[in-house]
């Protein structure tokens, strides 16, 4: 049986998802290199592609999310638009996805296990 403390740690309102949305220029070779480096840095930090130019990362808490948001800010490219949004696991679970008019189930990246 889970303790109250453990249940609070895995509460769907405490667990967070970070969404990084970006629109970066790719006209020049330098732009393309910056775009590739930004995506590579997101992947190194545990983000996975949700859609083109939208990457997501599961975080155990808002404190953990703040660490990763700070990290993303540290490798922002010089040009382009980047948005960072943090939502609860409950909100993420309510996303409705469609392929054309056909509803799709959420194919969320695997949640990371936390070792004690």
Confidence of residue 3 (pLDDT cuts 50, 70, 90): low
**Is pLDDT larger for residue 113 or for residue 43?**
43
Can you tell me the distance from the alpha carbon of 21 to that of 10, in angstroms, rounded to the nearest whole number? 26
Cα 93 versus chain centre, distance:
14
CA distances from 2 to 6, 9, 13, 26, 51 (A): 6, 11, 17, 50, 35
Can you tell me the distance from the alpha carbon of 17 to that of 20, in angstroms, rounded to the nearest whole number? 10
pLDDT of 15 > 90? The answer is yes
Closest CA to 86 of 97, 106, 72, 99: 72
Under 8 Å CB-to-CB from 106, ≥6 apart: which residues?
92, 93, 95, 97
- The pTM score is 0.80
Q: Which domains does the chain have, with CATH numbers?
A: 4-104 (3.30.70.240)
Task: Supply the pLDDT for residue 13.
Answer: 73
The three-class DSSP label of residue 56 is: strand
Mean pLDDT value across residues 2-9: 51
Give the torsion sign (CA, 67, 107, 77, 81): negative
**Residue 64, φ and ψ in degrees, nearest 5:** -65, -40
**Mean pLDDT, all residues of the chain:** 87
In the chain, what percentage of residues exceed pLDDT 90?
72
Instruction: Return the DSSP state at 95.
Output: -
């Amino acid at each position: 049986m889970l303790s109250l403390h453990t249940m609070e740690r895995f509460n769907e309102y405490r667990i967070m998802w970070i969404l990084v949305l970006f629109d970066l220029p790719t006209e020049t070779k330098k732009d393309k290199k910056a775009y590739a480096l930004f995506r590579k840095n997101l992947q190194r930090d545990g983000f996975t592609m949700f859609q083109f130019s939208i990457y997501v990362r599961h975080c155990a808490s808002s404190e953990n999310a703040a660490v990763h948001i700070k990290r993303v800010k540290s490798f922002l490219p010089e040009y382009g638009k980047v948005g960072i949004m943090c939502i609860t696991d409950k909100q993420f679970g309510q996303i409705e996805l469609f392929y054309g008019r056909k509803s799709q189930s959420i194919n969320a990246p695997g949640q990371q296990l936390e070792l004690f």
